[in-house]
Amino acid sequence: MGLVPEAPTGVRRVIRFFILIVFALPLTAAAQDWPARAGESIGYLHEYEGAGGWVGRTIVGRATGEIWSDAEAVAALAERAGIDVSSVMYEHRSAHIAGVFGVEDSDAPSAFRYAVFVSAEPRPGGSHRLHRTWFRFGSPEDGRGLAVIMPGMLGTPHPIIDRLEQTLQREGWATLRMLVPPSRTTEHLPVAIDVDDAGETIRQLAAELAQRTAECAYAVEAVLGWVDSMGLPLVDKPRVIIGMSGTGMMLPAVVARNEGEFAAGVIIGSGANAFKILRETSYADMLDAVRVTWSTRRPTAEALAELDELYLSHAKLDAYAMAPLVAGTPVLLLDGSKDRAVPAATGDLLASRLSEPTRWSKPVGHELLFAGLALWIPDMLDWLDERVAESAE
């Protein structure tokens, strides 16, 4: 029996979007290994009409992430997932969210289209945790391809990402910018570990971090379909993806989930083994996200190594597990050898798990790495151009 010719890229993407929207089915072979969402799909994507801009904020105190601009999206999610909207639990302390405002609230109409991806994670007792991820899309008249930009925690560093977005568009790339990471990425979670009986706590931590990483991959999957639905010539053109700091840790899972979508990826200031990063990061107090403490006694170095091994055995979506699965996608690592926010040793671990990445390591810490990013953008874009050209040969 002869081989069936493979459909052109654009045709495959249109078919993929049709399946995602009409039949609302998971699209990866390993879908059963990914965290569940309510309903038959990974979530619901809502485009804002007449959007004029956006603003981010961190939830503090007893406040929740409920905002008026997303009421329509949350109601549509509940209807499509077949759940009661009153069962939806909004984000709380330290989660970071974005609000999209209308043209009437800004000085001029926006050149971008804005959307939010929402999903509902089933919880015991019939409740559902809401996850949200916000994006904006902009394109030159005849874009040469699509660049997905995923920011660091809290959507930072804003001026650098603005400049990257603008530069990519000047170079002819359409941009799909994640405004802030998925809303629960920095949500506060205290984790007290009993060194002598850590198994269940570590398993639960790995499961929670998998939820946060999966949401990033689900959101990118949905917005790629959104772009494909616009009827632009981009459907036949190459795609690249850039992840920074926290979303760089998620980038291997995003690429693995969206297999074959990206010609190349760039990871800036990131690492593998989120458990180690959370324990050692210099940003623990600033982010107030997952806080690891020891309930009985502090572990020895040997015990820590054993706990890391235990965590990695459960952490199926950690960059440690996902990096080997993206061997077919060229990856550039840009990191700092003195990084303490994402400890440099975890960057070394990520490099060892990837298949022959290009690595540019600078003798700086996390802040200077991103402060200097504007200087390295031209070289980074040249590297992407070369990888895209190679993928087309």
Per 3-state DSSP, the chain is made up of helix, strand and coil in percentages (nearest 5) of: 45, 20, 35
Q: Dihedral sign for Cα 156, 159, 162, 166, please.
A: negative
The secondary structure element, H or E, covering residue 241 is: strand 239-244
Q: Please tell me the predicted confidence (pLDDT) of residue 7.
A: 39
Would strands 173-178 and 128-138 be described as parallel, antiparallel, or unpaired? antiparallel
| Residues 43, 46, 49: CA angle, nearest 5 degrees | 180
Mean pLDDT computed over 114-139: 97
Please write down the long-range contacts of 368-372, taking CB distance under 8 Å and 24 or more positions apart. Answer: 368/336, 369/268, 369/269, 369/334, 369/335, 369/336, 369/339, 370/152, 370/157, 370/160, 370/244, 370/245, 370/268, 370/269, 371/157, 371/160
Q: Please tell me the predicted confidence (pLDDT) of residue 111.
A: 86
Q: Please tell me the predicted confidence (pLDDT) of residue 105.
A: 58
Whether residue 391 is predicted with pLDDT greater than 60 in this model: the reply is yes
Confidence of residue 393 (pLDDT cuts 50, 70, 90): confident
Q: Quick check: 227 and 21 in contact, CB under 8 A?
A: no
Q: Please tell me the predicted confidence (pLDDT) of residue 10.
A: 53
Whether residue 103 is predicted with pLDDT greater than 70 in this model: the reply is no
Query: Lowest mean pLDDT: which of 25-39, 198-212, 306-320?
Result: 25-39
CATH fourth-level superfamily of 9-34+138-392: Alpha/Beta hydrolase fold, catalytic domain (3.40.50.1820)
Query: Lowest mean pLDDT: which of 68-72, 101-105, 307-311?
Result: 101-105
Q: Please tell me the predicted confidence (pLDDT) of residue 33.
A: 79
Mean pLDDT computed over 270-281: 98
Q: Is 244 exposed, middle or buried (0-12, 13-18, 19+ CB in 10 A)?
A: buried
The phi, psi pair for 236, rounded to 5°, reads -100, 5
Return the percentage of the chain with pLDDT > 90, whole number. Answer: 85
How far is residue 333's CA from residue 243's CA, in Å, rounded to a whole number? 10
Q: Quick check: 362 and 153 in contact, CB under 8 A?
A: no
Residue 111 burial (CB count, 10 A): 9
Residue 172, Ramachandran bin (φ over 0: left; ψ between -120 and 50: alpha; else beta): left
Q: How far is CA 342 from CA 179, 255, 277, in A?
A: 21, 21, 6
The phi, psi pair for 125, rounded to 5°, reads 90, 0
The number of residues in the chain equals 393
Q: Please tell me the predicted confidence (pLDDT) of residue 9.
A: 55
Diameter of the chain measured on Cα atoms: 65
* pLDDT per residue as tens digits for the range 153-194: 999 999 999 999 999 999 999 999 999 999 999 999 999 999
Q: Please tell me the predicted confidence (pLDDT) of residue 243.
A: 98
Residue whose C-alpha is closest to residue 381's, from 177, 167, 237: 167
Whether residue 112 is predicted with pLDDT greater than 90 in this model: the reply is yes
Would strands 189-193 and 290-294 be described as parallel, antiparallel, or unpaired? parallel
* pLDDT per residue as tens digits for the range 15-68: 454 444 433 434 343 444 799 999 999 999 999 998 989 999 999 999 999 999
How far is residue 368's CA from residue 365's CA, in Å, rounded to a whole number? 6
Give the start-to-end residue ranges of the domains of the chain.
Answer: 9-34+138-392
How far is residue 347's CA from residue 351's CA, in Å, rounded to a whole number? 6
**Residues linked to residue 148 through DSSP beta bridges, in sequence order:** 176, 241
Query: Lowest mean pLDDT: which of 69-78, 108-117, 257-266?
Result: 108-117
Which residues lie below 8 Å from residue 30, measured CB to CB, with a gap of 6+?
A: none
Higher-confidence residue of 298 and 10: namely: 298
